[in-house]
Amino acid sequence: MPPFTRTTTTAATALLGGLLVAALAACGTPAGRESPRARSTEAAAPAEPVRAAAPPSLPGMPPVLDPKDVYAADRAGRLAPAVKNFPPRVYVPNTSSNTVSVIDPKTYKVIETIPVGNQPQHVVPSWDMKTLWVNNDLGDSLTAIDPATGKAGRTVEVSDPYNLYFTPNGKYAVVMASMDRELVFRDPRTMDRVKTVPVTCAGVNHADFSADGRYFIVSCEFSGELLKVDTEKMKVVGQRKLPLKGAMPQDVKLSPDGKTFYIADMMAHGMWVLDGLKFTAPKLLPTGKGCHGLYVGRDSKEMYISNRGEGSVSVFDFARNALTKKWHLPDGGSPDMGGVSADGKVLWLSGRYDAEVYAIDTASGRQLARIPVGSGPHGLAVYPQPGRYSLGHTGIFR
């Protein structure tokens, strides 16, 4: 209520009110300061709370298709023009054989074996999706494969490329130099070094980016830590020890709504659930022994979690925020890294300790094939896949 109430509607009263307002206006108030009288009138009703605007996305990053689903561009069969004519293949880096096995997913057979550098760890699609990079970790090099022909091309000298990512705007490649204890920002085409970011944790290996691309979360396998890195500034802005002695974090994946990061941990036997923005202590969700790889389904409803130590795959339902199924491989196995087929019907995983690859039906969990490959198969890439651009690893597309 105002401090006084009108009791008459006579002209005199109206005139008096007008004169009073004019007098107050004439007195004025210091610039930028509201009059006490003005604050006490009905005209100065409490303002609506000011809501902070969401920070803009990383400059140069393609606009998000759906604010509620960062994987909206990854729907089944939605291949970009750059990749739609590539033959479907599964590329398997064999760390102990120094080769890449190429599988035809229609026949479940190896159709070619490509010699590469020493200890290939992952096969990584480039940001523009036109090249596959084989990460020769101990060979200190990257080997390019042309996915149009399946043939190896140039080899580029790069120190300790355990894993490889690309910033969402395509400006930089980011090498996870695990033993060098560095994050190395490079030109994504020439792979020339642009900036080196030393880290104090041990074993930087996997990562994923926030929905706006402004930061990314990195797992440090050997010291059981997580890093938060500012993408544009190329700077570590947060570091956190996981609340479990002996933790060994592995794969990192953002939830479809962009609010949560999941980090697989093969010694915690589950995945950590992290608020990336606040970067507070994460909570552990047990999944199975040797939790290792995380793969979102084509409809963004479920995530497939490989449990390397027990030969199983757990299925996490995003809407229910719960594990709903577990599939055990017949005769066991060591499911590790991989990806989902372009149509979303098959989950492909390497068998790290068994020199084989598994093809799993995503509707039933039934094993479709076990395919012999080289020794120590690791970060295989299913290619091509839907999406507009690649963030790296074995295929994170947005």
Over the stretch 95-115, which tens digit does the pLDDT of each residue have?
999 999 999 999 999 999 999
Distance, first Cα to last Cα, the chain: 54
Question: Rounded to whole angstroms, what are the CA distances from 387 to 75, 82, 179?
Answer: 8, 10, 32
**Residue 25, by phi and psi: left (phi above 0), alpha (psi -120 to 50) or beta?**
alpha
% residues pLDDT > 90 (the chain): 86
Mean pLDDT of 371-395: 98
Q: What is the pLDDT of residue 178?
A: 97
Core vs surface per residue 104-115: b (16+ CB within 10 A) or e: bbeeeebeeebe
Residue 385, pLDDT > 90, answer yes
For the segment 262-286, the average pLDDT, to the nearest whole number, is 98
Range 2-16 average pLDDT: 36
Name 100's bridge partners: 93, 114
Lowest-confidence region among 12-26, 280-294, 296-310: 12-26
Q: Which residue type is seen at 269?
A: H
Instruction: Supply the pLDDT for residue 56.
Output: 87
Specify the pairing of strand 302-307 against strand 204-209.
unpaired
Residue 186's pLDDT is: 98
Cα(142)–Cα(155) distance, rounded to whole angstroms? 6
- The confidence score (pLDDT) of residue 46 equals 40
Greater confidence, 188 or 4? Answer: 188
Task: Name which residue leads in pLDDT, 39 or 201.
Answer: 201
Please tell me the predicted confidence (pLDDT) of residue 49.
43
Q: What are phi and psi of 36, to 5 degrees?
A: -55, -35
Share of the chain above pLDDT 70, in %: 86
Which pLDDT belongs to residue 130? Answer: 98
The sign one gets for the Cα dihedral 62, 65, 68, 73 is: negative
- Report the DSSP beta bridge partners of residue 313: 306, 327
**Average pLDDT of the residues in 280-287:** 98
Residue 206 has pLDDT above 70, yes or no: yes
As a whole number, the mean pLDDT across the chain is 89
Q: Are 367 and 359 in contact (CB under 8 A)?
A: yes
- Report the distance separating Cα 196 and Cα 217, nearest Å: 17
Q: How high is the pLDDT of residue 358?
A: 98
Section 10-36 average pLDDT: 36
**Does residue 384 contact residue 86 with C-beta atoms inside 8 Å?**
yes
CA neighbor of 209 nearest in space, from 263, 239, 252, 265: 252
Cβ-Cβ contacts under 8 Å for 389 (sequence gap 6 or more): 62, 127, 128, 129, 166, 168, 170, 397, 398
| Structure confidence at residue 3 as a pLDDT band (50, 70, 90) | very low
How far apart (Å, rounded) are the C-alpha atoms in residues 90 and 338?
Answer: 9
Grade residue 50 by pLDDT with cuts at 50, 70 and 90.
very low
| Average pLDDT of the residues in 209-217 | 98
* 55: confidence class by pLDDT, cuts 50, 70, 90: low
pLDDT digits (tens, 9 = 90+) for 139-172: 999 999 999 999 999 999 999 999 999 999 999 9
Cα(133)–Cα(283) distance, integer angstroms: 34
The vertex-111 CA angle with 109 and 112, nearest 5°, equals: 135
320 CB-near residues (< 8 Å, 6+ apart): none
Q: How confident is the model at residue 54 (pLDDT cuts 50, 70, 90)?
A: low
Distance of CA 380 to the CA centre of its chain: 17
Contacts 24+ apart (CB under 8 A), 88-91: 88/341, 88/342, 88/383, 88/384, 89/147, 89/150, 89/383, 90/348, 90/357, 90/380, 90/381, 90/382, 90/383, 91/123, 91/132, 91/145, 91/380, 91/381, 91/383
Q: How many CB atoms lie within 10 A of CB 196?
A: 15
Q: Is the peptide bond before 384 cis (omega within 30 degrees of 0)?
A: yes
Please give the DSSP secondary-structure letter assigned to residue 49.
P
Question: Quick check: 352 pLDDT over 70?
Answer: yes
Average pLDDT over residues 279-297: 98
Q: Please name the residue ranges forming H helices in 96-182.
A: none
Structural domains in the chain, sorted by start: 72-383 (2.130.10.10)
* pLDDT for the residue numbered 15: 34
